[in-house]
Structures are given as C-alpha cells and as structure tokens.
Amino acid sequence: MSGAALALRQIGYENRAFWRNPPAAFFTFAFPLLFMVIFNVLFGADAARFFTPAIMVFGVVTATYTNLAMTVTIARDEGILKRLRGTPLPGWAYLVGRIGHAILIALLLVVIVGAFGALAYGVDVPWVHLAAIVLVLAVAAAAFSALGLALSGLIPNADAAPAIVNATILPVLFISNVFFQMDNAPDWLDAVSHVLPTRHFADAMLGFYGLGDTAGAGVPWLEIGVIALWGVMGVVAAMRFFRWEPRR
C-alpha cells in the first residue's frame, strides 16, 4: 500500500479505537457544550451569539492541539510509537492518521456546537459564509494539530502532559476572545493577543457570526494567514522536537 493509502487506513483505525471508549468520546463532545450552557446562564442568552463561535474555537483547539499533545505523549510513553517505528509504516503516515482523525472530531464538534447554538439559543447559522468557515476550520485544525505534535515532543513524560498542555493553552484562550471578550482589555494585552493564532481564529469565527472587526468582511485572509504561519512554525518545531521514544 502507498503511504497515502496507509494514512487513510490509519484514520479508520484511530476512529474505531476512539468510539470504543464511549465515556471519553461522550465527554469530548459534552465538555464544550457544558461550557456553552454555563456561559449562557452566567452572561444571559444574548451572549449565545458570542459563545457559539467562541466555543467552536475552543472545541477545535481542544480536539486538535490539546488532544494530540496528550495522546501522542501517552502513546510515546506506552511504547506504541517505538513499536510503529520498527514497522514499514512511514512515520508521517501514522501522524497524518492521528491528525486526520483529530480534524474529523474537531469538525464534528463544530457542527454540534453550531447546531446546539441554533436550536437551543436561536443563533442563526451563517450559511452564506460556509465555504470561508470550512477554509478557516481546515487551516486552524491543521495548524493546531501541528502545534500539538510539536508540544508533545517537548513534554518529558505522560504524567507531565496535562499540566503542561493546560498551562500552554488556557491562559492563551483567556486573552483570545474565546472565554472573555477582549473589548475592555488594556492595549498591551490586546497587542499580545494579536500575535497568537487563537485570537485570529476566534476573530475569524466571530466575524462569521457578525461580531468584531472582521464582521461581514468575506474571507478573513489576514486571520487565515496568521494561523497558517503558526501552523508552519508548528510543523518545523514538530520535525525538530518530535520523538518516537520515551525520554530516559
């Protein structure tokens, strides 16, 4: 089989294994919805128009960056990566399989969050922007996957993974228009946040829902460009830091 066919096949096996652990699968999807419900209770139903796209961003980042950084580190500690390294499966085909599956889960999450926002809170789905939304989601999911793989190479062991992953992503999400609106943030913090891919991802998604600077501006090329740049840095860092074996 060619490497590409093996990568596709690997997505299938990843998918099968994922659904074999129903509690993990359930909470992967329930967690962002829970956030949405709580935020809407706290901030009122008007907030749903903000939190629907914001929680989509949170869901995509969780399903790609957080998920891959943790599960790849665990697979490395368990010796799964080392074992694969001894087979003819090209390393990239395995990783493409992992990333492909993570992206599928991320897209499914977006659909669920969008549907939940529409049905529970009456937040209209911006169908006119569908093509642009898919483009942003695809670039963001790929970029955050690459960054997650790069981070896994820097995490010393599986026990350290949750602490390190959360420490790298939660503060970033806090200043990225995801959990809190950045309207009243001091200028310097706003400037910092504009360097980050999460901020641009959030701004793009909020724009599709008619919020923020990019509202109604069509395809948010600047945002896509910044996210893609981070993705490229993620790929370079992943190639530099990725390891097949546990650190001794």
Partner 1 sequence: MSAVEIRGLRKSYGSFEAVRGIDLTVETGEVFALLGPNGAGKTTTVEILEGHRQRSAGDVSVLGHDPGRHERALKERMGIVLQQTGVDEYLTVREVVQMVAGYYPAPRDVDEVIGLAGLGEQRDQRVNKLSGGQKRRVDLAVALAGDPELLFLDEPTTGFDPSARRQAWETVRGLASLGKTIFLTTHFMDEAQALADRLAIMADGRIVATGTANELIGASTPSTHVHFRLVDGVEPPAGLGVHAAASAYELETTEPTRTLHELTAWALSAGVELHDLEVGRRSLEDVYLQLTADAESDAPAGAAS
Least Å distance, CB 20 to partner 1, is 4
6 vs 196 by CB, closer to partner 1 = 6
Q: How far is the CB of 145 from partner 1 (least distance, A)?
A: 19
Binding site for partner 1 (CB under 8 A): 1, 6, 9-10, 13, 16-18, 20-21, 75, 78-83, 85-90, 245
* 44/88 with CB nearer partner 1: 88
Q: Between 88 and 186, whose beta carbon lies closer to partner 1?
A: 88
Looking at the Cβ atoms of 90 and 210, the one nearer to partner 1 is 90
The CB-of-23 to partner 1 minimum distance in angstroms stands at 12
**Residue 103: its H or E element:** helix 91-121
Q: Provide φ and ψ at 79, rounded to 5°.
A: 85, 5
Q: Which two tokens stand for residue 226?
A: 């910044």
- DSSP state, residue 244: S
Q: Which residue has the tokens 């799964």?
A: 80
Q: Which two tokens stand for residue 111?
A: 């659909």
CB of 105 to partner 1, least distance (A): 15
Q: Are 135 and 141 in contact (CB under 8 A)?
A: no
Return the number of the residue (18 or 116) whose C-beta is nearest partner 1. Answer: 18
Length of the chain: 248
Q: How far is the CB of 236 from partner 1 (least distance, A)?
A: 21
- Give the angle 84-72-112 at the CA atoms, nearest 5°: 120
Closest by CA to 56, choosing from 203, 207, 202, is 202
Cβ neighbours for 166, distance < 8 A, ≥ 6 positions apart: 66
